[in-house]
Amino acid sequence: MNQTMAAEPSPLMRRLRDEWFFAISALTALAFLEFGDRIFEHLSNPLWLVVIFLWLFAVVLGSALSVVRHAEHLAERLGEPYGTLILTLAITSIEVIGISAVMFHGENNPTLVRDTLFAVVMIILNGMVGLSLLMGAWRRPEQRHNMQGANAYLGVIVPLATLSLVLPDFTRTTVGPTLSVIQQMMLALMSIGLYGAFLVLQTGRHQHYFVEDGEYHGTAHQKIEHEGSLWLCVALLVAYMIPVVFLVEQLARPIDYLIETLAAPTALGGVIMAVLVATPEAISAVRAAMSNHLQRSVNIFLGSVLSTIGLTVPAMLIISHFSNHDVILGLEHTDLVMLILTLAVSIITFASGRTNLMQGAVHLMLFLAYFLLIFQD
């Protein structure tokens, strides 16, 4: 008995074992801080370009996954809807940091914000939703979610997406798919205002919209105990965010080289940023759907889209205004059609409170169409 107890690792050792990736993240950040210029000297070598890009992408993604892991620990302690709110806000912060880093590095790319927002919407509402519904339906014929919560999300997502990505195509104050300064201020205030109103609904008297039916007075508010204090989870979440801020800026250099030197599609920069943002949440959403917690998945992917539009748009408009970087928000041609189609299909998918295999397949097909149109518009 004493030997068994002696063999068990201490809480400190278990914590160090769980946080091993932080060492990789910190060492990578130190390497690029010290030798960054020499590392980027040979980007003209295709093999070196691929190695550097994959190295940075993997470390940033791993750090983002660790941020999500600690956000989920906070979510389990605080319960819904506060847990999902922390998760989406953490990911949105990474997104704003990433877009800013790429936008300020290299030549001005006025469509980067638009491309990233559109890519996030397509990846989440089509790729993530489709995969979650498909994997969930693989184990059970039909899954249920709280229809009122989904309608609340979509009731804000649809107008914000239209005002941000469609309206600029039709305004006449400025030339092209852009907004004037006053119109940008209006959009930023409306986005923050609608998102704030949604938070009041989500955290106030209508919390039961965002939990599974019958759980509002049951397990939905139970808090799960974890090792360590609540503040330790917060500290670790912030600790993983710090290398992300620096490494995303380094990742901007190979991305700019791909777009500016190798003439890759300009939308590719937005897609890369969107993948970094969406992948951690996609993993959480798919796991929840496979465990028959579809409401958790709905909260994750619809909450992510809402926070991306409601918070990223005003943040980037403010940053671009003070940094004198032009921003083009309006979608054009096939992208505009894909956005309208995606929003319409999403409304149909979540209208009944039940999902099945067919709905997942439709969303995945829309995602494949979006990906193809990046290269064959």
Please give the average pLDDT of every successive group of 10 residues along the chain, which has 377 residues: 53 66 86 84 83 88 80 69 67 72 63 82 88 78 77 90 89 81 89 86 76 53 52 77 80 77 71 77 77 79 84 83 79 89 91 80 91 80
Secondary structure in 3-state letters for 246-275: HHHHHHHHHHHHHHHHCCCCCHHHHHHHHH
pLDDT in tens, 2-35: 554 445 665 556 666 777 788 888 898 888 888 8
Q: What are the residue boundaries of the structural domains of the chain, listed by start?
A: 2-375
Q: What is the pLDDT of residue 222?
A: 46
Percent helix, strand, coil in the chain, to 5, is 80, 0, 20
Rounded to 10 degrees, the C-alpha dihedral 199/76/95/246 comes to 140
Q: What is the pLDDT of residue 229?
A: 66
Q: How far is CA 43 from CA 88, 112, 270, 315, in A?
A: 34, 22, 20, 31
Terminal C-alpha separation, the chain: 68
Q: What is the pLDDT of residue 14?
A: 65
Of 236, 241, 237, 268, the residue nearest 252 (C-alpha)? 268
pLDDT in tens, 57-81: 888 888 878 877 777 777 667 665 6
Q: What is the pLDDT of residue 344?
A: 93
Q: How far is CA 274 from CA 80, 336, 352, in A?
A: 25, 18, 29
- Which three-class secondary structure state does DSSP give residue 70? helix
User: DSSP letters along 158-203, please?
Assistant: HHHHHHHHTGGGT--SSSSS---HHHHHHHHHHHHHHHHHHHHHHH
Q: What is the pTM of this model?
A: 0.79
Compute the C-alpha angle 66/67/68, nearest 5°.
Answer: 90
Q: Are 61 and 83 in contact (CB under 8 A)?
A: no
Q: What is the pLDDT of residue 351?
A: 83
Of 275, 294, 278, 279, the residue nearest 134 (C-alpha)? 294
Structure tokens belonging to residue 267 = 């939308």
Domain 2-375 carries which CATH code? Answer: 1.20.1420.30
